[in-house]
Structures are given as C-alpha cells and as structure tokens.
Amino acid sequence: MRVALIADTHLPSLIRQLDELGSGPRELLATADLILHAGDVTAPSVLDWCEAFAPVLVAQGNNDIFEDRRLAHRQMLDLEGWRLGMTHELRPESRPIPVLLKEGLGGERVDVLIAGDTHVERLEYRDDVLFVNPGSPTLPHHKEYRLGTAAILDIERDRIRAEILLLGQTEGSPNPGTASTLEIVRENGRVRVVE
C-alpha cells in the first residue's frame, strides 16, 4: 500500500490550490492509495482536491476551524499489520518517543508516528518507532510560498519504505527541504532498520 503524507498546506491563502505551485504535489498524490494529512489544512476544499486522487484522513491542526467527516483530533490506522498514529503538533519533536506518544496519541503504542506543525521535514527511527514529519508542500521551513516537501510510505506486511520527497523547485525560491529515505523490516517479531 502506498500512503502519501502531507501537512501544513495552509490553503487557500496567497495561492488557492497546490497546483498553483507546480505539478509536484499532483504527481505525488496521483500515485497514492491513501492520503494522510497531518493538519493545518485550513479549508475543506484542500481535502476535496486531495480526495480526487485517493481517500483522505486528517489530524486536526490548530488552524483547522471547520468540521469535516475526514477530520479527527488524531488518526489511528492499521495497515498491512503496522499500527500508524497521526497527530498535528508534537513540538519539540526531539523529546523521547514515549513522551511524544503520551502527548500526541494518549499513550497509544504505534509502529509509525506521523506529525506536522513544524513545516520542517523529519524522518527517523528511534525508540522502536518510525517517526515522520512530511514538512510542508507550500511553506517549507516557514519560508514564503514555494514548493516544499511531502512524504511517501510504501507499506508491505513485513517492510515499510519511507521517503521525504522534494516536490520541485519554485523559480527564484529554492526548495529548502532535504530528501531522505529510511526502510524498516520486521523479522521474527523484531523491527530493524535496513542499512
């Protein structure tokens, strides 16, 4: 299963749709079986645009002042035998994973923790949890509107390949994001990072 992760779209604003920044977001979402948005959508029209590609679930962000069937304070999913949890805000993200789980997911144990809010991409495996912040496709690193980052999870029964993707470059405004990849496998009941 291929899951696209986005966060912090903050639309509509100076731009109305992700397409206005270029084709990168559309090309990414067109490959997804499911889209998880880690909050700060700001308008249901963004979810409608995303849902043209795949089903969408959202963790409500502090700027998401609307009601929508796709939106919840946090999202918990089981995909291919892996437990995923998504919330919006976990600052500072450098705290121990058990603290983040308690604060963001009410202590629920997960294999994959997804968050947004910082606009800075993060991909790491620590304390037995794959932690992903896809950054922002529109306001990366809190800079002006430009193409930023998103993430992909390719999930199989015993393997997850996670990737932070640069969605392209905006003329005159370089993408400040950093692409990265991490893969974990489950063998004999244990999970390890593939080197």
Tens of pLDDT, residue by residue over 125-167, are: 999 999 999 999 999 999 888 899 999 999 999 999 999 999 9
Strand, coil or helix: what is 70?
coil
pTM for the full predicted model: 0.95
Tally of structural domains, the chain: 1
Tens of pLDDT, residue by residue over 62-71, are: 999 999 999 9
Residue 93 lies in domain: 2-193
Q: The domain that contains 95 carries what CATH number?
A: 3.60.21.10
Q: What is the pLDDT of residue 158?
A: 96
Alpha helix ranges (H) inside 19-115: 24-29, 44-51, 97-105
Under a CB-based contact definition with an 8 Å cutoff, are residues 18 and 149 in contact? no
Q: What is the pLDDT of residue 102?
A: 97
Q: Are strands 190-193 and 180-187 parallel, antiparallel or unpaired?
A: antiparallel
Beta strands in 62-177 (DSSP E): 71-72, 75-79, 82-86, 112-114, 122-126, 129-133, 149-156, 159-166
Give 175's contacts (C-beta < 8 A, 6+ positions apart). 140, 146, 147, 148, 149, 166, 167, 168, 169
If 0-12 CB within 10 Å is exposed, 13-18 middle and 19+ buried, where does residue 143 land? middle
Name the nearest CA neighbour of 132 among 111, 115, 149. 115
